[in-house]
C-alpha cells in the first residue's frame, strides 16, 4: 500500500515537472541565449551548410525556420504542430540522431520558446567584430600569412587581421578591404578565370571558414563555416567549381563553390594538412601534411591513390608547376624537392622515391612558402631563415637571393607577367623584388596604420 502511494506521489511529481520549470523561469525564453547554445551543442554537427542532414541547416534563425526536406521546423505559437518538437521529444526522440537526447527541461525550453511566438532575438550580427563600415584599426602592421596576385596581375591580395586588403599593381594604392569574420587568414587563391577570390582561415579551436569574394564587386559572395579549427592551403579546381583545403583537424575537404556542400572528406593524414593542389586535368587532388606525406586522391570520389613521396620531413607548403603535373614542396627541415605527381611505382623497389625529380640546396630553417614562377623555369623558397631564394628548376642553381626581411617569410607570390615577386611575413611589410637580380624594388605597409588613414584610390 505504501509502495503504491509512493508511486502515485512520484507520478504526480513527474507530471508537475514541466509546469514547475515553467513557473521557475518565467522570463520569456530567448532564442539567442537559450536555444542557440542547445542547437550548437546537439544539432549543428549534422545540420550546417556543409552537412545538411535531412536538408536542414540550423546555424541561422532563417534557415532553422525554413526547415528541411519536410518543410518548416517550427510553427510560431504551436509547439504541437512543430516538427522540431516532434523530433526531440518522446521516450526515444529521433533527434539528435546520435549522442545524448535533450533533457526534459531543454525540450520544455524549445516548447515554451515556440509557444511564446518563436521570436528571433539574435543581436544583429553579434559575431561580427568588424565589418565594412567598421574595419579593423591597426597600431602596427600585422604578420602577413598570405599573398596572391590576380591572374591578370592587376591586383595583389594581402592578408590582414579579420580582412584581406587589395592593392593595385603598383602596390601602394589600396583598392578595397575585404572584411570578414575570420580573425586569421591562412591562405588565398584566385580562380583561374579571375572571377573569385577564395580565402581560408578561421579562429583556432573555434571555427574554420572559407570565404568567396567576387572580384568584380569586391563583395562577399559566400562564407562557409567548416570544422572547428583553421583551414589552410585553399585551391580551386581548374574549372572553379570546387574548392579543396586542408585543416588542422587532419582532414582535407573538397566543397562545391556554389553552395559549400561537402563533396569529399579525406582523413588519411595523421597531422595538419597545410596544402592542396589539383592536377592539370582537374581529376586528382594532392595534399601536403606535417605528417610528411603528399597524398594523391581521386577528386571525383575521394579515393586515396598513393603517397607520391618517400616520407622524409614534414611538408609545410606545396605548389604545382604552372602547366605540368609536377609539385615542389618545402619541408620543415629546410629541404625543397620537386616530385612528379603520379603513383609511387617504386615503393617496393630499392629506390623507393622514384617520383623525386630534384632536390634543392637546404635552407637555414623550415620552409614556409614556395612557388613556381609562371614559366615554370624557376622556383622561389622562403621561410624561417628570412631570405627568399630563387632557383633554376633545370639544374637547381640559385639565381637570386632576396634579402632584408626582418624575421620569417610566410608567403610569396610571383607576378604573372612581370619579373617580380611579392613577399610577406613576420615584419608585416610587403616587399617586391626583381626575380632576376634579387634587388628590392619597393616595400610598403599593406594596412592603414592608426596615424595615417589609408588613401582612397580613385578607381
Ligand atoms: C548525428 C547526426 C544528427 C544530429 C546530431 C542531429 N540530427 Fe537531425 N537529422 C539527421 C538526419 C540524418 C536527418 C534525416 C532524417 C533521418 O534520417 O532521420 C535529420 C532530420 C532532422 C529533422 C527533419 C528535417 C526534415 O524536414 O526532414 C529535424 C527537424 C532535425 N533533424 C532536427 C534536429 C535537431 C533539433 C537536432 C539537435 C537536437 C538534430 N536534428 C541533431 C541527423 C542528425
Q: Do 77 and 156 share a domain, yes or no?
A: no
Among the residue ranges 169-183, 272-286, 307-321, 406-420, the one predicted with the least confidence is: 169-183
Q: Do 323 and 377 share a domain, yes or no?
A: yes
Q: Do 342 and 195 share a domain, yes or no?
A: yes
pLDDT band at 124 (very low <50, low <70, confident <90, very high): low
Listing DSSP states for 220-258 in one string gives EEEEEEESSS-EEEEEE-TTSSEEEEEETTS-EEEEETT
Q: Is the CB of 46 under 6 A from ligand 1?
A: yes
Measured in angstroms, how far is the CA atom of residue 28 from the centroid of ligand 1? 26
**Is residue 10 in a domain?**
no
* CA dihedral angle for residue 170, residue 176, residue 182, residue 185, rounded to 10 degrees: -10
Q: Is the CB of 73 under 6 A from ligand 1?
A: yes
Q: Do 290 and 333 share a domain, yes or no?
A: yes
Q: Which residues contact 32 (CB under 8 A, 6 or more apart)?
A: 121, 122, 123, 126
CATH number, domain at 274? 2.130.10.10
Q: Is the CB of 187 under 6 A from ligand 1?
A: no
Q: Do 263 and 410 share a domain, yes or no?
A: yes
Measured in angstroms, how far is the CA atom of residue 205 from the centroid of ligand 1? 25
Measured in angstroms, how far is the CA atom of residue 363 from the centroid of ligand 1? 51
- pLDDT tens digit string along 302-340? 999 999 999 999 999 999 999 999 999 999 999 999 999
**Is residue 451 in a domain?**
no
Domain endpoint, select from 97, 115, 133: 115
Q: Is the CB of 45 under 6 A from ligand 1?
A: yes
Q: Is the CB of 309 under 6 A from ligand 1?
A: no
Q: Do 111 and 159 share a domain, yes or no?
A: no
Domain that holds residue 45: 17-115
**Is residue 129 in a domain?**
no
Q: Is the CB of 100 under 6 A from ligand 1?
A: no
Q: Do 38 and 91 share a domain, yes or no?
A: yes
**Of all protein residues, whose CA lies closest to atom 43 belonging to ligand 1?**
97
Q: Do 253 and 294 share a domain, yes or no?
A: yes
**Is residue 56 in a domain?**
yes
Is the pLDDT assigned to residue 22 strictly greater than 60?
no
pLDDT band at 348 (very low <50, low <70, confident <90, very high): low
Q: Is the CB of 97 under 6 A from ligand 1?
A: yes
- Distance CA(412)–CA(432), nearest Å, equals 10
pLDDT band at 132 (very low <50, low <70, confident <90, very high): confident
Q: Do 74 and 166 share a domain, yes or no?
A: no
Q: Do 103 and 177 share a domain, yes or no?
A: no
- pLDDT tens digit string along 255-310? 999 999 999 999 999 999 999 999 999 999 999 999 999 999 999 999 999 999 99
Burial zone of 137 (CB within 10 Å; 0-12 exposed, 13-18 middle, 19+ buried) = exposed
Average pLDDT over residues 441-452: 86
Q: Is the CB of 69 under 6 A from ligand 1?
A: yes
Atom of ligand 1 nearest to the CA of 110: 35
Q: Is the CB of 68 under 6 A from ligand 1?
A: yes
Is the pLDDT assigned to residue 421 strictly greater than 70?
yes
- Looking at every residue in the chain, the average pLDDT score rounds to 90
Helix (H, G, I), strand (E, B) or coil at 315: strand
Structural domain count, the chain: 2
Q: Is the CB of 70 under 6 A from ligand 1?
A: yes
**Is residue 4 in a domain?**
no
Measured in angstroms, how far is the CA atom of residue 146 from the centroid of ligand 1? 38
Atom of ligand 1 nearest to the CA of 99: 5
Q: Do 207 and 274 share a domain, yes or no?
A: yes
Q: Do 176 and 42 share a domain, yes or no?
A: no
What's CA 62's distance to the chain center, in Å? 24
Mutate to test the pocket of ligand 1, among 48, 53, 90, 98 (most ligand atoms within 8 A of CB): 53
Q: Is the CB of 87 under 6 A from ligand 1?
A: yes
**φ, ψ dihedrals at 24, nearest 5°:** -65, -35
Please give the pLDDT value at position 350.
59
**Is residue 134 in a domain?**
no
% of the chain exceeding 70 in pLDDT:
90
State in Å, rounded, how far the first CA of the chain is from the last one. Answer: 89
**Of all protein residues, whose CA lies closest to atom 10 belonging to ligand 1?**
53
**Is residue 308 in a domain?**
yes
Domain endpoint, select from 64, 91, 115: 115
Listing DSSP states for 355-390 in one string gives TEEEE----SS-EEEEEE-TTSSEEEEEETTS-EEE
Q: Is the CB of 82 under 6 A from ligand 1?
A: no
Atom of ligand 1 nearest to the CA of 73: 29
Q: Is the CB of 98 under 6 A from ligand 1?
A: yes
- pLDDT tens digit string along 225-247? 998 889 999 999 999 999 999 99
Q: Is the peptide bond preceding residue 272 cis, with omega within 30 degrees of 0?
A: no
Amino acid at each position: 500500500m505504501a509502495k503504491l502511494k509512493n508511486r502515485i506521489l512520484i507520478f504526480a511529481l513527474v507530471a508537475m515537472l514541466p509546469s514547475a520549470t515553467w513557473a521557475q523561469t518565467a522570463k520569456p525564453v530567448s532564442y539567442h541565449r537559450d536555444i542557440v547554445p542547445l542547437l550548437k551543442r546537439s544539432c549543428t554537427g549534422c545540420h550546417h551548410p556543409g552537412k545538411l542532414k535531412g536538408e536542414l541547416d540550423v546555424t541561422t534563425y532563417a534557415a532553422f525556420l525554413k526547415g528541411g526536406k519536410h518543410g518548416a521546423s517550427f510553427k510560431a505559437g504551436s509547439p504541437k504542430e512543430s516538427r522540431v518538437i516532434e523530433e526531440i521529444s518522446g521516450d526515444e526522440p529521433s533527434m539528435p540522431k546520435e549522442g545524448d537526447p535533450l533533457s526534459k527541461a531543454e525540450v520544455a525550453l524549445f516548447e515554451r520558446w515556440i509557444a511564446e511566438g518563436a521570436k528571433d532575438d539574435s543581436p544583429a550580427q553579434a559575431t561580427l567584430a568588424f565589418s565594412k563600415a567598421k574595419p579593423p584599426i591597426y597600431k602596427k602592421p600585422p604578420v602577413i600569412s598570405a599573398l596572391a596576385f590576380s591572374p591578370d596581375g592587376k591586383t595583389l591580395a594581402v592578408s590582414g587581421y579579420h580582412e584581406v586588403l587589395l592593392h593595385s599593381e603598383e602596390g601602394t594604392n589600396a583598392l578595397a578591404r575585404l572584411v570578414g569574420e575570420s580573425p586569421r587568414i591562412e591562405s588565398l587563391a584566385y580562380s583561374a578565370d579571375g572571377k573569385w577570390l577564395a580565402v581560408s582561415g578561421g579562429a583556432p579551436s573555434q571555427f574554420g571558414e572559407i570565404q568567396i569574394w567576387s572580384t568584380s564587386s569586391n563583395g562577399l559572395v559566400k562564407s562557409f563555416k567548416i570544422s572547428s579549427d583553421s583551414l589552410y592551403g585553399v585551391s580551386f579546381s581548374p574549372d572553379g567549381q570546387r574548392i579543396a583545403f586542408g585543416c588542422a583537424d587532419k582532414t582535407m575537404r573538397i566543397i562545391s563553390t556554389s553552395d559549400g556542400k561537402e563533396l569529399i572528406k579525406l582523413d588519411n593524414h595523421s597531422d595538419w594538412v597545410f596544402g592542396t593542389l589539383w592536377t592539370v586535368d582537374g581529376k586528382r587532388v594532392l595534399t601536403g601534411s606535417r605528417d610528411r606525406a603528399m597524398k594523391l586522391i581521386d577528386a571525383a570520389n575521394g579515393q586515396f591513390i598513393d603517397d607520391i613521396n618517400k616520407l622524409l620531413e614534414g611538408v609545410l607548403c606545396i605548389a604545382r608547376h604552372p602547366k605540368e603535373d609536377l609539385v615542389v614542396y618545402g619541408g620543415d627541415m629546410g629541404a625543397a624537392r620537386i616530385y612528379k605527381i603520379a603513383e609511387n611505382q617504386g615503393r617496393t623497389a630499392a629506390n623507393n622515391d622514384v617520383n623525386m625529380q630534384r632536390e634543392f640546396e637546404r635552407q637555414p630553417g623550415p620552409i614556409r612558402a614556395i612557388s613556381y614562377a609562371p614559366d615554370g623555369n624557376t622556383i622561389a623558397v622562403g621561410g624561417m631563415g628570412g631570405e627568399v631564394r630563387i632557383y633554376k628548376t633545370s639544374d637547381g642553381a640559385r639565381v637570386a637571393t632576396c634579402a632584408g626581411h626582418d624575421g620569417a617569410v610566410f608567403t610569396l607570390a610571383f607576378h604573372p607577367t612581370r619579373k617580380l615577386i611579392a613577399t610577406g611575413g613576420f615584419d608585416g611589410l610587403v616587399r617586391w623584388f626583381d626575380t632576376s637580380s634579387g634587388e628590392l624594388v619597393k616595400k610598403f605597409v599593406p594596412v592603414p596604420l592608426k596615424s595615417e588613414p589609408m588613401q582612397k584610390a580613385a578607381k
